[in-house]
Structure 1
Amino acid sequence: MQQTDVGFGATLTSEGCHFCLYGPDILTLAVVLFDKEGIATARHRLQRQENNHWTVFIPGIGENTGYAFWVTTATGPSAQWLLDPHAHRVQHHPARHSGPDRVAAPEWIAYTTYHDFDWQGCERPAIALEKMVLCEVHVKGYTRANPDLPAHLRGTYSGLCHPVTLAHFRQSGITSLQLMPIAAKADETHLAAKSLTNFWGYNPIAWSAPDERFASADPVRECKTMIRTLHAHGIEVILDVVYNHTAEEGNGGPVFHFKALDSQSYLKDEHGQFKNYTGCGNTPDLSHPPMLQAILQSLRSWVLNYQVDGFRFDLAATLGRNHDHFSSESAFFTAIRNDPVLSSVKLIAEPWDIGPDGYQCGAFPAGWHECNDQFRDHWRSFWLHDAPASAVAPHLLGSQAQFPAPNWPQKYSINYICYHDGFTLQDLVSFNDRHNHANGENNRDGHPDNRSNNQGTEGLAATAAIQKRREKQKRNLMTSLLFSLGIPHLLGADLHSHSQQGNNNAYCQDNDTSWVNWALSKEAHTFRSWLQSLIQLRQTVMPAIIAAMADKTSAPATIHWLTPAGTPMDDQSWTGRQPFSCLIQADDNHALFYLFNPDDHPVRFRLPSSMHNWTCLVDTAEQQLTVRNIQQSDCLVRPASMVILIPRP
Structure 2
Amino acid sequence: MKKKQGSPFPLGATLYNDGCNFAIHSPDKIISLIIFTNDNDSYEYSLNTDDQIIYYLFIPNIKSATKYGYKITNDNGNNRLLLDPYAHKLSKPLEYHYPLDAEQSWTLSKSVVVDHAFDWEDDTPPNHPIEKTILFELHAKGFTQQHPTIAPSYQGNYLGLCQPDIIDFFKQQSITSIQLLPIISFVTEPHLIENNLTNFWGYNSVCFMAPHPNYAKNDAVKELKLMVKELHRHDIEVILDVVFNHTAEGDDNGPCFHLKALDHDYYLRNEHDQCMNYTGCGNTLDLTHQASLTLVLDSLRHWVKEYHIDGFRFDLATTLGRDHENFSAHNAFFMAVAQDPILQKVKLIAEPWDIGPNGYQLGNYPDNWHECNDKFRDITKNYWLQQPNIAKNFATRLMGSRDLFSASRWPQKLPVNFISYHDGFTLQDLVSYNEKHNEANGENNRDGHSDNRSNNHGIEGETNNTAILLLRDQQKRNLMVSLLFSFGIPHLLAVDSLSHSQQGNNNAYCQDTPIGWANWKLSKIDTAFQQWLTDIISIRQQLMPDVIRAFSNENRTKNTITWSDANGIQITSQQWVDIDHFSLHINLFNNHGELLYLINGTNNPLTFILPKDNKWNIVCDTSTQNIIIEDINVSYLQPAHSMSILYRSN
TM-score interval for Structure 1 and Structure 2 normalised by the shorter chain: over 0.9
Superposition pairs for residues 491-570 of structure 1, below 5 Å?
Answer: 491-553=493-555, 555-570=557-572
Instruction: Give the CA deviation at 1:278.
Output: 0.4
The CA distance in 2 between the partners of 1:495 and 1:591, in whole Å, is: 29
Instruction: Give the CA deviation at 1:439.
Output: 0.7
Q: Does the residue aligned with 2:576 lie in a helix, a strand or coil?
A: coil
CA 1:272 to 1:504, structure 2 compared with 1: closer, same or farther past 3 Å? same
Show the counterpart of 1:447: 449
The CA distance in 1 between the partners of 2:260 and 2:332, in whole Å, is: 22
CA 1:648 to 1:287, structure 2 compared with 1: closer, same or farther past 3 Å? closer
Tell me the alpha carbon deviations over residues 373-402 of structure 1, each in whole angstroms, 9 at most, x when there is no partner.
Answer: 000000000000114211111111111111
Show the counterpart of 2:477: 475
Tell me the alpha carbon deviations over residues 177-235 of structure 1, each in whole angstroms, 9 at most, x when there is no partner.
Answer: 00111101011232122221100001001111111111100100000000000000000
Residue 78 (structure 1) aligned with residue 81 (structure 2): no
Structure 2 unpaired stretches of 5+: none
Residue range with higher mean Cα deviation, 543-552 or 371-380? 543-552
Show the counterpart of 1:459: 461
Tell me the alpha carbon deviations over residues 421-466 of structure 1, each in whole angstroms, 9 at most, x when there is no partner.
Answer: 0000000000000000111111111111110000111012241111
Q: Does the residue aligned with 2:142 lie in a helix, a strand or coil?
A: helix
CA 1:554 to 1:454, structure 2 compared with 1: closer, same or farther past 3 Å? closer
Extract structure 1 runs of 4+ deviating beyond 6 A: 2-5, 93-96, 101-104
Show the counterpart of 1:412: 414
The CA distance in 1 between the partners of 2:566 and 2:557, in whole Å, is: 28
Instruction: Give the CA deviation at 1:577.
Output: 4.9
Residue pair 1:68, 1:106 contacting (<8 A) in 2 also: no
Tell me the alpha carbon deviations over residues 32-56 of structure 1, each in whole angstroms, 9 at most, x when there is no partner.
Answer: 12245x2232121223321510111
Letter in 2 for 1:374: K
The CA distance in 2 between the partners of 1:43 and 1:552, in whole Å, is: 64
Residue pair 1:30, 1:45 contacting (<8 A) in 2 also: yes
Show the counterpart of 2:611: 608
Residue pair 1:615, 1:647 contacting (<8 A) in 2 also: yes
Q: Does the residue aligned with 1:204 lie in a helix, a strand or coil?
A: coil
TM-score of the two chains, using structure 1 as the length reference: 0.96
Residue pair 1:157, 1:214 contacting (<8 A) in 2 also: yes
Show the counterpart of 1:66: 67
CA 1:104 to 1:406, structure 2 compared with 1: closer, same or farther past 3 Å? closer
Instruction: Give the CA deviation at 1:330.
Output: 1.0
Pairwise CA RMSD = 1.8
Residue 228 (structure 1) aligned with residue 229 (structure 2): yes
Show the counterpart of 1:54: 55
Q: Does the residue aligned with 1:185 lie in a helix, a strand or coil?
A: coil
Q: Does the residue aligned with 2:384 lie in a helix, a strand or coil?
A: helix
Residue 216 (structure 1) aligned with residue 217 (structure 2): yes
Letter in 1 for 2:401: S
Instruction: Give the CA deviation at 1:572.
Output: 4.0
Q: Does the residue aligned with 2:530 lie in a helix, a strand or coil?
A: helix
Q: Does the residue aligned with 2:143 lie in a helix, a strand or coil?
A: helix
Instruction: Give the CA deviation at 1:601.
Output: 1.1
CA 1:531 to 1:402, structure 2 compared with 1: closer, same or farther past 3 Å? same
Letter in 2 for 1:458: E
Residue 263 (structure 1) aligned with residue 256 (structure 2): no
Letter in 1 for 2:564: L
Superposition pairs for residues 229-628 of structure 1, below 5 Å?
Answer: 229-387=230-388, 388-553=390-555, 555-587=557-589, 588-609=591-612, 611-628=613-630
Residue pair 2:427, 2:499 contacting (<8 A) in 1 also: yes
Residue range with higher mean Cα deviation, 563-572 or 539-548? 563-572
Residue pair 1:81, 1:106 contacting (<8 A) in 2 also: no
Q: 1:30 aligns with which of 21, 29, 32?
A: 32
Residue pair 1:25, 1:73 contacting (<8 A) in 2 also: no
Report the number of matched residues. 639
The CA distance in 2 between the partners of 1:572 and 1:361, in whole Å, is: 28
CA 1:82 to 1:5, structure 2 compared with 1: closer, same or farther past 3 Å? closer
Show the counterpart of 2:23: 20
Show the counterpart of 2:87: 87
CA 1:193 to 1:540, structure 2 compared with 1: closer, same or farther past 3 Å? same
Residue pair 1:592, 1:645 contacting (<8 A) in 2 also: yes
Q: Does the residue aligned with 2:514 lie in a helix, a strand or coil?
A: coil
Tell me the alpha carbon deviations over residues 334-391 of structure 1, each in whole angstroms, 9 at most, x when there is no partner.
Answer: 1101111111111000000000010000000111000000000000000001142111
Tell me the alpha carbon deviations over residues 102-135 of structure 1, each in whole angstroms, 9 at most, x when there is no partner.
Answer: 9873312111011111111111101011101110
CA 1:70 to 1:89, structure 2 compared with 1: closer, same or farther past 3 Å? same
CA 1:51 to 1:343, structure 2 compared with 1: closer, same or farther past 3 Å? farther
Residue pair 2:212, 2:220 contacting (<8 A) in 1 also: yes
CA 1:525 to 1:345, structure 2 compared with 1: closer, same or farther past 3 Å? same
CA 1:245 to 1:628, structure 2 compared with 1: closer, same or farther past 3 Å? same
Letter in 1 for 2:418: Y
Residue pair 1:563, 1:573 contacting (<8 A) in 2 also: no
Q: Does the residue aligned with 1:363 lie in a helix, a strand or coil?
A: coil
Letter in 1 for 2:342: V
The CA distance in 2 between the partners of 1:294 and 1:45, in whole Å, is: 23
Instruction: Give the CA deviation at 1:536.
Output: 0.3
Instruction: Give the CA deviation at 1:92.
Output: 3.3
Residue range with higher mean Cα deviation, 457-466 or 302-311? 457-466
The CA distance in 1 between the partners of 2:94 and 2:340, in whole Å, is: 37
Letter in 2 for 1:626: I
Q: Does the residue aligned with 1:143 lie in a helix, a strand or coil?
A: coil
The CA distance in 2 between the partners of 1:89 and 1:256, in whole Å, is: 15
Instruction: Give the CA deviation at 1:69.
Output: 1.2
Letter in 2 for 1:9: G
CA 1:584 to 1:334, structure 2 compared with 1: closer, same or farther past 3 Å? same
The CA distance in 1 between the partners of 2:425 and 2:401, in whole Å, is: 23
Residue 152 (structure 1) aligned with residue 164 (structure 2): no
Tell me the alpha carbon deviations over residues 152-181 of structure 1, each in whole angstroms, 9 at most, x when there is no partner.
Answer: 100111110000100000001100100111
Q: Does the residue aligned with 1:273 lie in a helix, a strand or coil?
A: coil
Show the counterpart of 2:205: 204
Q: Does the residue aligned with 1:531 lie in a helix, a strand or coil?
A: helix
Residue pair 2:95, 2:188 contacting (<8 A) in 1 also: no
The CA distance in 2 between the partners of 1:471 and 1:60, in whole Å, is: 63
Instruction: Give the CA deviation at 1:325.
Output: 0.9
The CA distance in 2 between the partners of 1:572 and 1:65, in whole Å, is: 71
Residue pair 1:386, 1:577 contacting (<8 A) in 2 also: no
CA 1:42 to 1:51, structure 2 compared with 1: closer, same or farther past 3 Å? closer
Tell me the alpha carbon deviations over residues 547-579 of structure 1, each in whole angstroms, 9 at most, x when there is no partner.
Answer: 111012555321100010000102343123522
Show the counterpart of 1:125: 126
Letter in 2 for 1:217: N
The CA distance in 2 between the partners of 1:5 and 1:130, in whole Å, is: 43
The CA distance in 1 between the partners of 2:395 and 2:94, in whole Å, is: 54
